[in-house]
Amino acid sequence: MLEKDLSMLIDQNKVLTEEKKVLATEKEVLTKQNKVLTAEKEVLTKQNKVLTAEKEKFMMMQETEKKQLLQKVETLEYDKQVLTIQLSALSFSMITRKAQFVDRDDV
């Protein structure tokens, strides 16, 4: 009976030893996976920083372009006003000349 119990305990010890080895191997695998995931996280964090910087640069460029376009619109509006004044002056001049010709025809 003692031999049987001893044999059974030895077998259980072997099983537990094997389970311990399996768990140690699983722990190593998980530790390596954790290191890989940590490295991937660091890469993604750096990529995120780069993308954020690029986004800010792009937004600044857009703002600059917007300001330039607004300045062009203002310039075009000013030019339009100048041309309108010149057109009015030309029209007035033409009316004045026409009136002079009409006055001469009356004479």
- Compute the distance between CA of residue 30 and CA of residue 7 in angstroms, rounded to an integer: 34
Q: Residue 107: is its pLDDT beyond 60?
A: no
In whole angstroms, what is the distance from residue 83 CA to residue 77 CA? 10
Residue 17 has pLDDT above 80, yes or no: yes
Q: Please state the pTM of the whole predicted model.
A: 0.56
Residue 4 has pLDDT above 60, yes or no: yes
Largest CA distance in the chain: 154
* 29: confidence class by pLDDT, cuts 50, 70, 90: very high
The CB-based long-range contact list for 22-30 (8 Å cut-off, 24+ gap) reads: none
Residue type at 98 in one-letter notation: K
Distance CA 54, CA 49 (A): 9
Residue 95: how many CB atoms within 10 A of its CB? 10
Residue 99: per-residue pLDDT: 77
DSSP 73-104: HHHHHHHHHHHHHHHHHHHHHHHHHHHHHHHH
